[in-house]
Each structure stands twice: as C-alpha cells, then as structure tokens.
C-alpha cells in the first residue's frame, strides 16, 4: 500500500465528513479506525492528532473514558480554503491571466509561522523564483489565501503584485526555473496509475478509508500542480485524465463512505453531496496555441 502522511489523511477525512457538520465531536477510536484502513498505525495517528491540537486545527476533550476531537474555527478556515479546488471543475487551470508575485519578511525566530506561510503559498501555486521572490500563475486571491495567518503575521510582512510578462522576455524560462515540470507530470501519472487500479480501494477494506485515501492523494496532487497555463505544457499533459479518474473514484465511494461515517459517528446518514462538475474543456494543441 502506498505510504500516505497521517496529517493529509486526517485533513481529507475532516474536510469530507466534518466540515459541513458544524462542531461535531469525533471519538479518537473513529479516527484511528479510518486511518488504520489507510495503512497508518494507531500510534502515528495519535501523535498526529496531538500535533494538530497544538497547531490549533482541532480541539480535544475527555468525556468519561472517551477522548473526543472537534474541528476548530481555524481548522475549518483551512479546509474551506481547500474545498473549492478539491471539488471544483477546473482544479488545474489558473484564475485569470498574468502572474502574481510575492515577497515576505518573517523574523527568523518565527520558524513555524514561516513554514505555515510557505505552505499556504505553495497550495496557491506559488514557487520561489529567485532572491525571495515567489511566483504564481494567474490572479491569486492572496487576502483569502492568507486569512488564517493574518492574526500572526507582522505588519507589512507581505508585499504582492500582479504582473504581465513583457514582449521579448521569455516567460517559459522562468516557469522552468521555478517549477519542475517533469516532476509535476510524474505526480499526475502516479495518481492515475494508483486510482485506475481497483486494487487500491480494495486494499483499504472499507469505502470510508478508501475515500479518505483518494482525497488525500488528490490534495497531494493539487499541492504539486501549481495550475500553470497549458501553453507551457505538452499536448499530452495528463491533468484532464487525473480529473476524470478522481471523479470516477469519488462517485464510486461516496454513498458507502457516507453510510459508514454515519454509523461510526452516530449521526444521521446524509445523501451523497459530491456532484461531479463538468469536465474541463479540451485544451487546444500546442500548434493551435501558437497560431
């Protein structure tokens, strides 16, 4: 079974089943059982839950002999920021044209904040270009993206611009300097290979664990793919196939996973909510784009 990070699995699980349920407390045993089905041992799940509590993403309380975890407002904000892209119809296309540029200043002694900021920028498609300058395709809604960090960021810590490339200055060179295109392609091909194989879901044992694995892998792929304009990609770029594979797997698992969650969490079953968006429009060939 493919190795997956416990935090990514827990975020996938909370995003799918808890985010829209309000302050729903979940027993630790439920989370441990779901992640065990995804190949994560109980001690690793407990350690990750502890770290997520310290980070403020979830809260913990004891009721009798049970330990319960609840999604916090900060955790909800982080997950809602990801939901649009996780369930959206065009997850690999930039929003708008041009490029968004960012520089930031965070004191060296605030390493955790620096890590959180870099992680947020990476999720939005940014990559370091040179000398502290980060670059992302399109028009990034930076205010919304960094909302969970605003209370912790020093005043004037972020400087941001939206720009267009100038004629005569090849943007392709900058794109390949900032991003490893071959690695992004490999991430897509790995996702397609994994989730085109029925054995992947069968390994999990339950639809709920399999769905958690699928969404966690999708989150990892979304983080790896910065939504570069297709003009910089080859004609056989595999993003559209990844989209098809993801939504096929999601629909196959949605109803049984929802039923299993309801039984484990002691809540009323809810109908499947993951309506498949329209597939992305086929991209023109490289030759057509050059005309």
Residue 41: both structure tokens together: 């041992």
pLDDT (mean) for 124-146: 92
Q: What is the pLDDT of residue 284?
A: 39
Q: What is the pLDDT of residue 277?
A: 58
pLDDT (mean) for 58-62: 94
The Cα–Cα gap between 115 and 127 comes to 14
The Cα–Cα gap between 122 and 231 comes to 21
**72: nearest Cα among 81, 55, 59:** 59
Q: What is the pLDDT of residues 169-203, one digit of tens each?
A: 888 988 999 999 999 999 999 999 999 999 999 98
**246: nearest Cα among 10, 88, 14, 80:** 88
The Cα–Cα gap between 211 and 9 comes to 10
Q: Using alpha carbons only, what angle is made at residue 147 by residues 144 and 151, rounded to the nearest 5 degrees?
A: 160
Q: What is the pLDDT of residue 147?
A: 86
Name which of 9-18, 211-220, 250-259, 277-286 the model is least confident about: 277-286
Q: What is the pLDDT of residue 51?
A: 95
Q: What is the pLDDT of residue 275?
A: 52
SS3 109: coil
The Cα–Cα gap between 71 and 121 comes to 23
SS3 130: strand
Partners of 135 in the β-ladder:
101, 127
**Count of C-beta atoms within a 10 Å radius of residue 202:** 9
Q: What is the pLDDT of residue 240?
A: 95
Does this model's pTM top 0.95? My answer is no
**Residue 287: band (very low, low, confident or very high) from pLDDT cuts 50, 70, 90:** very low
């Amino acid at each position: 079974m493919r190795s997956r990070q416990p935090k990514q699995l827990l975020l996938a699980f909370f995003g799918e089943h808890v985010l829209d349920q309000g302050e729903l407390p979940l027993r630790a045993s439920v989370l441990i059982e779901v992640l065990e089905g995804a190949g994560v041992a109980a001690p690793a799940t407990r350690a990750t839950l502890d770290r997520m509590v310290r980070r403020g993403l979830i809260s913990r309380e004891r009721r009798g002999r049970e330990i319960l975890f609840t999604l916090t407002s900060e955790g909800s904000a982080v997950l809602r920021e990801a939901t649009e892209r996780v369930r959206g119809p065009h997850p690999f296309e930039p929003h708008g044209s041009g490029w968004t540029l960012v520089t930031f200043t965070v004191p060296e002694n605030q390493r955790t904040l620096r890590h959180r900021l870099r992680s947020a920028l990476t999720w939005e498609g940014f990559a370091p270009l040179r000398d502290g300058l980060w670059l992302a395709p399109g028009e990034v809604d930076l205010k919304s993206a960094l909302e969970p960090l605003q209370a912790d960021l020093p005043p004037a810590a972020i400087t941001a611009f939206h720009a267009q490339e100038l004629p005569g200055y090849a943007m392709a060179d900058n794109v390949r300097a900032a991003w490893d295109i071959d690695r992004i392609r490999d991430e897509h091909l790995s996702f397609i290979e994994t989730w085109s194989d029925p054995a992947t879901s069968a390994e999990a044992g339950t639809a709920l664990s399999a769905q958690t694995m699928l969404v966690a892998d999708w989150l990892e792929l979304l983080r790896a793919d910065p939504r570069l304009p297709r003009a910089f990609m080859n004609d056989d770029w595999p993003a559209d196939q990844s989209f098809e594979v993801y939504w096929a797997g999601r629909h196959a698992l949605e109803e049984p996973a929802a039923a299993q969650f309801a039984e484990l969490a002691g809540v009323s079953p809810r109908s499947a909510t993951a309506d498949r968006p329209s597939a992305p429009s086929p991209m023109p060939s490289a030759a057509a784009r050059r005309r």
